Amino acid sequence: MQTPHELSRRTVSRRALVAAAAAGLVTTVVSPARAAEAETARFHTVGRVRRAADGTVRYSWPGVSFEGRFHGTGVGVVLDDADNDYDVQVDGATVATLVTPGRTVSWVDGLADGAHRVRVVKRTESPWAVGRFGGFVAAPGGGILPSPRARRRQIEFIGDSYTAGYGNVSEIRDCSGNGGVNRNSNADLSFGALTARELDADFQINAFSGRGMVRNYNGGEPGTDFRTYYDRALLNVEGDVWRKPHSWCPQVVVVGLGINDFSTALNPGERWSTTAELVAAYESAYHGFLDKLRARYGPRTFLVVAAARLGNTTALAEATLRIVEERGRRGDDRVSHWYYEDPGLDHLGCDWHPSLHDHRIISGLLDTHVAGLPLRW
């Protein structure tokens, strides 16, 4: 018999590593599609997904989350994903972390009999693979309640590894010996997610590590950049197009692209022979990207052009400021410049990325910037 602080695990075809905190969790193999049939769409989805006829949803962007309500003493989370890690939260507290769970229903048991709220969130990036969520299943004697309502406030975060929370829960820069980048990444603890929770906002994290506005890290994968993937729901499906639901119209969009464009020196053979040429291409592409966002979300959405301090160059800070000033000259007064740096940043995440400590600092700086916008939400 389980108690709320016990964890039991059944070995499955793909190893499911689970960590539990405040509740017990059991992993068993059940068809995600079959388990979800009785409770189709009785969950609130936050993030880009591709919906299937059987009620399941597929996705690949980091930070995608699903929220539900149930009554009873336990709830099952139906997943089909051998590549990503997830946090399971009940009544606002993280009760389990599912590490590459595979095709499973993971049970949180031993709860007080009553009404509860459950949330499952994708911690990791997987541009090469698609996960599938099949809904929530109530423990015997309980039931799934109507879906929670969407939050009135909405924010979209667009960016690279900083935005994705790459390696942010590591406490050392070399993650080769402590589980690697995925085991040490949590998009739900990125600066964007922290700010969104502070504001009680639904949020999307549309971030892709190593990608820039026109140039990827160290000039890698030429011919592609972040814009190649932005319009997709499923990152690994060429030609895929995300259909924006009518319910998604963020009041704020934070764009953080440029670290990969400028953090490394140009290599011989790249299509820009000088930094000045790269800057010109970056600014032109950025204006086009802002035009796309403005057309998609309308004139009232605030667009925040973000720039982090780079130790090797001021090109990013200067270019983004010029972009915002030019938008103002064109008559768009809802584009702001957010340049962030802080002497307290330790960059102790994997590969010198911001740590959780840093993300909290950056989130606080973003909170201050958003508070200064003339928002009416």
> What residue has token string 């405040």?
22
* 147 in catalytic set: no
Separation of first and last alpha carbons in the chain:
48
Is 81 within 8 Å of 101 (Cβ atoms)?
yes
Mean pLDDT check: name the lowest of 25-34, 73-82, 120-129, 249-258. Answer: 25-34
Tell me what pLDDT residue 41 has.
62
Which of 17-21, 103-107, 260-264 is predicted with the least confidence, judged by mean pLDDT?
A: 17-21
Is the entire prediction scored with pTM above 0.85? yes
**3-state class of 76 per DSSP?**
strand
Given pLDDT bands bounded at 50, 70 and 90, which one contains residue 40?
low
d(CA 77, CA 108): 8
CB–CB of 299/315 below 8 Å? no
Q: Is the pLDDT of residue 185 over 80?
A: yes
Task: For the domain covering 17-145, report its CATH number.
Answer: 2.60.120.260
Q: Would you say the CATH fold of 153-371 matches that of 17-145?
A: no
Q: How confident is the model at residue 277 (pLDDT cuts 50, 70, 90)?
A: very high
Question: Of these residues, 60, 106, 161, 355, which one is catalytic?
Answer: 161
Domain ranges of the chain: 17-145, 153-371
Q: With cut-offs at 50, 70 and 90, classify the pLDDT of residue 136.
A: very high
Query: How many angstroms separate the CA atoms of 109 and 72, rounded?
Result: 9
The single residue listed with the structure tokens 């039931």 is 143
Among the listed residues 357, 309, 311, 301, the one whose alpha carbon sits nearest the alpha carbon of residue 333: 301
Fill in the DSSP letter of residue 267.
P
Query: DSSP states of 122-187 as a string?
Result: E-S--TT--EEEEEEEEPTT-EEEPPPPPPSEEEEEEESHHHHTTTTT-SSS--TTTTHHHHT--G
Return the CATH number of the domain spanning residue range 153-371: 3.40.50.1110
